[in-house]
Amino acid sequence: MLKLTPTLQALMLSGLVAISWPAWAEESASSVSANQVDDEADASTSDPRTAGVDGDTFKAILGQARSHDPDLRAEQMRYKGEQEETNIALSALLPQVNVQGRFSRQDSDNIYTDQDSQYYDPDKPRSSGKLNETYYQASIQQTLFDWAKFKDLDRADAYVAAAEARLKGAEQELTYRASQAYLKVLFQSQQVYLNNNKLESLQLKLAQAQRQNQLGVGDQLNLLEVQARRDLARADLLQAKSDLSDAKTELRKITGQDVQVPERWVKAGYLIEPQRVDSNLDEWLNMAKQGFEYRQAQQMVREAKEQASVQWAGHYPTLSLSLSYSDRHSEDDLNERTDKTAALQLALPIYQGGRTQAQTRRAEAQMQAQMAKSDKALADARQKIRLSFSRLGSLGERLEALRQSRQSSERYLIAAERGLKLNLRSQVEVLDARTQLVDTQLKFAEALNNYLTADLDLHYQTGDLTANHVGYYDQLFQDAAAKLKHAVSAENPDISI
C-alpha cells in the first residue's frame, strides 16, 4: 500500500471534505459581507477573529509599514512644515510691531568745535566734538486694505489643503504597496507549498515506474516521461522558492521587518472564495473623483486659481496705518527730541513696467496647466477602474471554473483511491490524480492572486483602500484556514494543520 506524507494526507482529506459535506461547503463558500468587513475594521487591529493567526495579518503588515516607511515619514514632516504657510500669509495682515534702539558716539569737526567760530563754547559738550547719543523707537503698522494679502491667505489655505491631500495620498499609496507586496508573498508561499506537493507526488510516481521497469512490466518511455516531469517540477519548486525570497525582500523594504507568513493561510489558499463585485461599472466610475490622485490634482487647481487672484490683486490700491514713537537723548541739547507720528499711507499702482499683468498671465497659464493635469488624473483613474472592473469579472468567472475543476479533481482522486483499494486502479493512476489536483490548485492560486490584486487596484483608484478593506483580506484567508482545519479535524483528529 502506498504510504502518504502528512502534507499529502491533508491534501487528500481536504478533497474528501468537498465530497462528504457539500451542504457545509456551500455555506462556507460565501464571503464576508461589506457590513461585516466594516464592523470588523472599526475594531482594533488585534481582531479577535484573527487572534489565532500563526503569523502576520494584512493589518499587522500595514501597521509595520506605517511606522517604518521612510517615504511616508518624509511626507508627514513635509505636511507639518507646509501647514505653517497659513500662519505666514496671516502674519502679513496682522499688526507689525517693532522696537529699535541705537547708541552712537560722535567725533566731528564743525563750527561748534572751531575755536575761532562765534558758536564755539567750551562749556558746551558739543564744542568738544565728542558726543554720546541714544535713540529709541517703537512703531506699529497695520494693513487696512491690501487685497493681494487677503487673497494670499486664501492661496495659503489651498496650499495646505493640497499638502493634506498629498499626505492622504501617500498613506493610501503605502496601504496599496504593503498590501500588494504581502499578497505577492502569500501567493509565492502557496506556489512553494503546492509545487513541493507536486514534486512529492511525482517522486512517488517515478519510484513506482522504476519498480515496474525493474520487474519487466513497465514502459521505458513512460519512465522517461515521468522523470522529465519530476525534473520540471523540481525546477518549478526552485523558481518558486527564489520568487518567494524576492517577494519577502521587497516586503521587508516596506515594513522593516521579516514577515511571518501564516502556515494555515498558505495551506488553505485554494479554499478561498472571494465575494464577487456586485456594483455596476458606472457606480465605480462615479467614485473616480474620490481617488486621492484626482483629489490632490483638484487641490492643486484651487491653489493655482488663488495664486492667479493674488497676482491680479496687484492692480488694487493699498492702505495702511502706522503709529510710531521715538525718543532721542544726546549730550547736545540741540539734538534732544521726542516724536509721535500717526500716518495713513495710500499706494496706488499706476505703472510698474507691465510686471503685474505678466505675473497674472503666468499664473493663469499655470492654472490651466493644473486643470489639464486634473482632467488627465480623472481620465487615468477611470481607465484603471474599467480595467480592474473588467479583470474582476473575468477572473471571478475563472475562479469559479477552477473551483469546479478542483472539485472534479478531488472526486477523481477519491475514486482512484477507492479503485486502488479494490484492486481496480493502480498506484500510478492515484498519483496522476493527485498531480492533476495540485496543478488545478496552482492555477487557482495564480487566479486568486490576480483577482485580489485587481480588487486592490479598484479600491485604490476610488480612494476606498483603507484599513477597513485590508481587514477583508485577513478574513478571507482566516475563513479558509478555519474551513480546512475543521475538515481535517473531522476526518482525522490526529492530523494537525
Q: Are residues 136 and 258 in the same domain?
A: no
State how far the Cα of 370 lies from the Cα of 308, in Å rounded to an integer.
12
Would you give the DSSP letter of residue 423?
A: T
457 close to 238: Cβ distance less than 8 angstroms: no
Continuous segment of H or E residues that includes residue 444: helix 427-461
Using CB atoms within 10 Å of the CB of residue 364, give its burial: 0 to 12 exposed, 13 to 18 middle, 19+ buried.
Answer: middle
304 close to 409: Cβ distance less than 8 angstroms: no
Q: Are residues 384 and 238 in the same domain?
A: yes
Using CB atoms within 10 Å of the CB of residue 22, give its burial: 0 to 12 exposed, 13 to 18 middle, 19+ buried.
Answer: exposed
State how far the Cα of 218 lies from the Cα of 209, in Å rounded to an integer.
7
Helices 58-68 and 220-255 sit at what angle, rounded to 10 degrees?
50
Choose among 384, 390, 388, 435: nearest CA to 413.
Answer: 435
Q: Give tens-digit pLDDT for 241-298.
A: 999 999 999 999 999 999 999 999 999 888 898 888 777 899 999 999 988 889 989 9
202 close to 210: Cβ distance less than 8 angstroms: no
Confidence (pLDDT) at 492: 56
Q: What are phi and psi of 326, to 5 degrees?
A: -135, 150
Q: Are residues 239 and 254 in the same domain?
A: yes
Confidence (pLDDT) at 112: 66
Q: Supply the DSSP string of 103-134, one letter for each residue.
A: EEEEE--STTT-TTSTT--TTSGGGGTEEEEE
Domain that holds residue 99: 86-155+317-356
Q: Are residues 110 and 218 in the same domain?
A: no
Using CA atoms, how far residue 252 sits from 83, 242, 257, 263, in Å, is 32, 15, 5, 18
Q: Total domain count for the chain?
A: 2
Provide CB contacts within 8 A for 185, sequence distance 6+: 244, 247, 248, 251, 259, 261
CB count within 10 Å of CB 270 equals 24
139 close to 323: Cβ distance less than 8 angstroms: yes
Mean pLDDT is lowest, of 162-166, 300-304, 320-324, 464-468, for 464-468
N- to C-terminal Cα separation, the chain: 24
pTM exceeds 0.95 = no
**Residue 231 counted as domain residue:** yes
**CB burial readout 173-208, b (16+ within 10 A) else e:** bbbbbbbbbbbbbbbbbbbbbbbbbbbbbbebbbeb
Q: Give tens-digit pLDDT for 312-346.
A: 998 899 999 999 999 988 777 777 889 999 999 99
Confidence (pLDDT) at 62: 92
**Residue 496 counted as domain residue:** no
Q: Supply the DSSP string of 471-491, one letter for each residue.
A: HHHHHHHHHHHHHHHHHHHHH
Choose among 392, 487, 387, 410: nearest CA to 448.
Answer: 392
**Residue 382 counted as domain residue:** yes
Q: Are residues 410 and 425 in the same domain?
A: yes
Tell me the HSE value of 163 on the side-chain side, using a 13 A CA sphere: 19
Q: Are residues 431 and 346 in the same domain?
A: no
Q: Which residue has the higher pLDDT, 42 or 272?
A: 272
Supply the CATH number for residue 434's domain.
1.20.1600.10
Asked if the model's pLDDT at residue 428 lies above 80, the reply is no
Q: Give tens-digit pLDDT for 171-210.
A: 999 999 999 999 999 999 999 999 999 999 888 888 887 8
Asked if the model's pLDDT at residue 424 lies above 50, the reply is yes
Choose among 458, 451, 31: nearest CA to 281.
Answer: 458
Confidence (pLDDT) at 497: 45
Confidence (pLDDT) at 122: 73
Choose among 313, 379, 316: nearest CA to 349.
Answer: 316
**Residue 312 counted as domain residue:** no
At 79, is the pLDDT very low, low, confident or very high (cuts 50, 70, 90)? very high
Q: Are residues 325 and 436 in the same domain?
A: no
Mean pLDDT is lowest, of 358-362, 365-369, 424-428, for 424-428
Q: Are residues 144 and 232 in the same domain?
A: no
**Residue 130 counted as domain residue:** yes
**Residue 497 counted as domain residue:** no
At 365, is the pLDDT very low, low, confident or very high (cuts 50, 70, 90)? very high
Choose among 398, 441, 407, 449: nearest CA to 267.
Answer: 441
Q: Are residues 386 and 417 in the same domain?
A: yes
Supply the CATH number for residue 114's domain.
2.20.200.10
Q: Are residues 221 and 134 in the same domain?
A: no
**Residue 308 counted as domain residue:** no
Q: Which residue has the higher pLDDT, 489 or 349?
A: 349
> Average of pLDDT values for 397-408?
91
Asked if the model's pLDDT at residue 119 lies above 50, the reply is yes
State how far the Cα of 382 lies from the Cα of 458, in Å rounded to an integer.
10
**Residue 61 counted as domain residue:** yes
- Output the average pLDDT for the chain: 83
Q: What are phi and psi of 492, to 5 degrees?
A: -150, 100
State how far the Cα of 303 lies from the Cα of 149, in Å rounded to an integer.
15
Q: Are residues 241 and 121 in the same domain?
A: no
Q: Are residues 145 and 270 in the same domain?
A: no
Asked if the model's pLDDT at residue 433 lies above 50, the reply is yes
Cell of 206: 517515478
